[in-house]
């Protein structure tokens, strides 16, 4: 999931905790056939973020740093969640899927 970033100690620690919790819960509930996964989204561009935090120049800079040169949208994250919930993902558990267009 990438290393920590300066001035983001609490954020980095929380993300690491999610990975640990996902691993523990998958082990705990696996015998009952319950799958536990996490999704770690990258810089998802939403109308609210454009309104409050990101300028078009900010978005262009984010996309330039990604391997895939397109805006990451909420629908991209939703598709992964649907895949994990469907039978197609029936044998996937204890994973943290990074969906970030190659940003990290």
Q: Is 11 a catalytic residue?
A: yes
Does 28 score more than 80 pLDDT?
yes
Which domains are seen in the chain, by residue range? 9-99 (3.40.50.720)
Does 1 score more than 60 pLDDT?
no
Query: How big is the CA angle at 45 (ends 97 and 40), to the nearest 5 degrees?
Result: 15
Q: What is the pLDDT of residue 52?
A: 95
Catalytic residue chosen out of the listed positions 2, 8, 9, 11: 11
Does 7 score more than 90 pLDDT?
no
In terms of DSSP H, where are the helices of 6-100? 9-29, 47-52, 56-65, 74-85
What's the Rg (C-alpha) of the chain?
A: 16
- Of residues 55 and 8, the one with the higher pLDDT is 55
Dihedral pair phi/psi, residue 36, rounded to 5°: -130, 120
65-79 residue pLDDT tens: 999 999 999 999 999
Q: What is the pLDDT of residue 8?
A: 87
């Amino acid at each position: 999931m990438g290393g920590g970033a300066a001035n983001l100690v609490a954020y980095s620690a929380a993300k690491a905790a999610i990975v640990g919790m996902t691993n523990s819960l998958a082990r705990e509930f696996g015998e009952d056939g319950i799958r536990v996964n996490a999704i770690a989204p990258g810089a998802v561009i939403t109308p609210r973020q454009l309104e409050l935090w990101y300028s078009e120049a900010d978005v262009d800079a984010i996309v330039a740093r990604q391997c895939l040169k397109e805006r990451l949208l909420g629908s991209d994250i939703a598709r992964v969640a649907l895949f994990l919930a469907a039978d197609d993902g029936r044998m996937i558990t204890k994973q943290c899927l990074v969906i970030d267009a190659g940003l990290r």
